[in-house]
Amino acid sequence: MQRRRLSPLARVVFYTLYQCEPQSGVPVVFSSTMGEIQRTQGILEAIADGDPVSPAAFSLSVHNAVVGLWSLVNGVTSPMISLAPVEGSPVPALLEAAGMLAEGWESILVVFCEEAYPEFYRPFLNSPAGPTSLALQLIPSHALAPGEGFRLALQRIGPGGSDGMAVNGSQALQQVLLDGGGPPVLVGEPGTVWQLSIAG
């Protein structure tokens, strides 16, 4: 029943999370700048036209709708956190996951996702062509076996605006993963700059 309610974005998110072969009880950090923006835009247009909005449509448009459905479908009762970072920055979700690992959790699933934005937003924001999702399973560095996985390193390198060399947040993590052991990528956020890399 719940699966029939999944939007294209939710289906992509579910697929990528399942590729991580999650164990039951693993917390999820959900990171999306706009979330279910297509559903939200539909509701806003209905309100503008004076049309009624169904409670079901509203419940599926809120920012934690996707991670809430993941919890319901899979019977997950561990923490589920939904974040809305600036310009798709991976930094807030990685910091949140690092904090949870420091608290003693053995594994955290982090999923970054976006869907194509309605035409109204495209002059102002970079929109993906369609639903996209990237899921990572994070564990403490001391638990990483030789030859398995990789170590992500995140470091704040100073205050200030987005450095001229900084990469758009939505592309930063993808660039680091594709470059492997390449040079660090700078992620610019309002008031600060972060350095993201794969540690040697």
Residue 121's CATH number:
3.40.47.10
Q: Are 116 and 29 within one domain?
A: yes
Q: Are 137 and 120 within one domain?
A: yes
Percent of the chain with pLDDT over 90: 33
State the pairing for strand pair 185-189/192-199. Answer: antiparallel
Q: Are 132 and 155 within one domain?
A: no
End-to-end CA distance of the chain: 46
Q: Are 50 and 135 within one domain?
A: yes
Query: Of 137, 136, 113, which Cα lies nearest the Cα of 10?
Result: 113
Q: Are 79 and 108 within one domain?
A: yes
Q: Are 141 and 107 in contact (CB under 8 A)?
A: no
Mean pLDDT of 43-66: 89
pLDDT greater than 90 at residue 32:
yes
Q: Which residues contact 114 (CB under 8 A, 6 or more apart)?
A: 9, 32, 33, 34, 88, 127, 128, 131, 132, 170
Q: Are 197 and 104 within one domain?
A: no
Bridge partners for 153 per DSSP: 197
Q: Are 100 and 175 within one domain?
A: no
Where do we find the tokens 């660039």?
Answer: 175
Q: Are 70 and 17 in contact (CB under 8 A)?
A: yes
Q: Which helix (H) or strand (E) holds 131?
A: none
Collapse the DSSP code of 168 into the 3-class scheme (helix H, G, I; strand E, B; otherwise coil) and give the result. Answer: coil
Q: Kindly report the length of the chain.
A: 200
- For the packed helices 65-74 and 8-19, what is the interaxial angle rounded to 10 degrees? 50
d(CA 161, CA 174): 22
d(CA 44, CA 7): 18
pLDDT at 165: 61
Q: Are 118 and 164 within one domain?
A: no
Q: Are 137 and 82 within one domain?
A: yes
User: Per-residue confidence at 162, pLDDT binned at 50, 70, 90?
Assistant: very low
User: Per-residue confidence at 196, pLDDT binned at 50, 70, 90?
Assistant: confident
Mean pLDDT of 158-169: 61
Give the count of domains, the chain.
2
Mean pLDDT of 122-149: 85
Question: The pTM is what?
Answer: 0.87
Q: Are 8 and 78 within one domain?
A: yes
Query: Of 199, 161, 166, which Cα lies nearest the Cα of 185?
Result: 166
Q: Which of 111, 143, 175 is the last residue of a domain?
A: 143
Q: Which range marks the domain in which residue 186 is found?
A: 148-200
